[in-house]
Structure 1
Amino acid sequence: MRSPRRPGSLRLVAVTVVAAVAVLSGCSGEDAAERRPGAAVTAEEADVLAEVLVADFREGGADVEVSAPFAEGAVLTLTGEVDFSRTIGRAQAVTRYQDGQPEETRTLFFDGTDLWQGDVPGLPEAVAAAGLPPAGYARRPIATTDAAGTASLLDVLVQMVTRLSARSADDPRSFEAYTWQGSRSVNGELASVFRSGTGAEIAVAAESGLLVQYVTTLQDFEVTITLADHGRREISLPADGETVDLTAHPEVAEAVGL
């Protein structure tokens, strides 16, 4: 049985990965000064909220950083970029421990359905033992849940990233339970913060009006996704010649614990 400390084996109670996003208050400076945290969003704000995921899609992509302190003294971070227009991302996944345990690193690529992992310990040996050509990446489908109703943290996080955009607007009425929570600086940008009815917090930059941060709770820990430098991205997924398909070769998956 694999250690529960490893990012690929941490299991989460099944959740619906919903990208809840919001926008800046449309109030004037005088109104904003009088507004208190917890105030309900206005009808105008709800209309704009309904378009925010579409705005991310139109921008094309962004740099992304994800932080998930999934256990005491253990934090999984993903640092990379996402192409919202093609639902493709790449990131360096690093798990750091405070107890002296060596950090673990993976190179990730992902799209709407599959996850590629590189720098996997034992992968070259497992591929060779299976009689397959050398491969630097292992590919498998992204799992939502398994038979026990749980999901890998890594799978949940990459799904959350790719779902921070949409091709069509939401219904403004779905944002009626949102509240305004004030302002804070995110990556040096002043942003307004909104909270959904489920407690997720969304920060939107004052200057650009783009989503810069999304914070939500999974089980008993917070996940923070920060977006920066919005714009077009060109990300190439690993070629088939440098990838082993774990669905076709379960013996390799078992050998490396994926």
Structure 2
Amino acid sequence: MEKEVKLSGQERLLKSISWVLLGIIVAVFLVPVFLPSNFCFGSIDYAIYVGGIAGPLAALVGFIYVYLTFLGQQRQLDNQRERLDRDEASKEFSEYLNLWNEFRAKVTYTWDKKSGSKAFDSYWANVKSSVKNDSKNQEFNISDPKAFKDSLKAHLTTSSFNKATGQYETFLRMVYPLLEIAERGKLESRLKYLENQLSEGEKAILVYSATFLDNKDFAINLFKSGFCQSLPDDFLISSDHRKMIF
């Protein structure tokens, strides 16, 4: 979009210059009309006068219009390339989404026998509670991202939800590409669909992992832009974390 606006501004400037040059060319032809005593329309002096001044200006106007045509073609090619990239990203997004749905349907949490999105919600509730208990027992500031990072990582990775089957790590490996593809392809509607599909526990796992553990810029940019901001405070480890994430 920024490139397109820049090109549009450049085109307007060049068109304005060309109109000014055309006005000068017309004025060159009209000068002998207002100064008939100095020119004879059939003389060599008139031909030299017109050719010497109007000729280069006309050539410059022609070059400007050729360049404007080039810019128009370049914009069409850029738009076509952008549409192709978006279509390719949309197809890739759908493929990853199908894989993620297949994986999610098989997820189980042996601690309470829950499955699917409910397993993620239960898993996150235990992780959140464990980190809070660590902050009390180990006396670290839970509102300091550096202070609670080790506790968060430990409980996310050593829980029975992940330790035996790697379900937490697999979840991230499958969701991160979805976010990356959506950001690259500017698939706002697909992102909204994904957000609606995610449970609150899945959103919490995603935003905490991407923000505090993995520092994924593409995910952080999406969070700052509104993705997953519907996450309730009840699913945050601390209410202070909202401003750190979003």
TM-score, reference length from structure 1 = 0.24
User: Which structure would you say has the larger RCO, counting Cα contacts within 8 Å and 6 or more residues apart?
Assistant: 1
Higher strand share: 1
Higher helix share: 2
- Bigger CA radius of gyration: 2
TM-score, reference length from structure 2 = 0.25
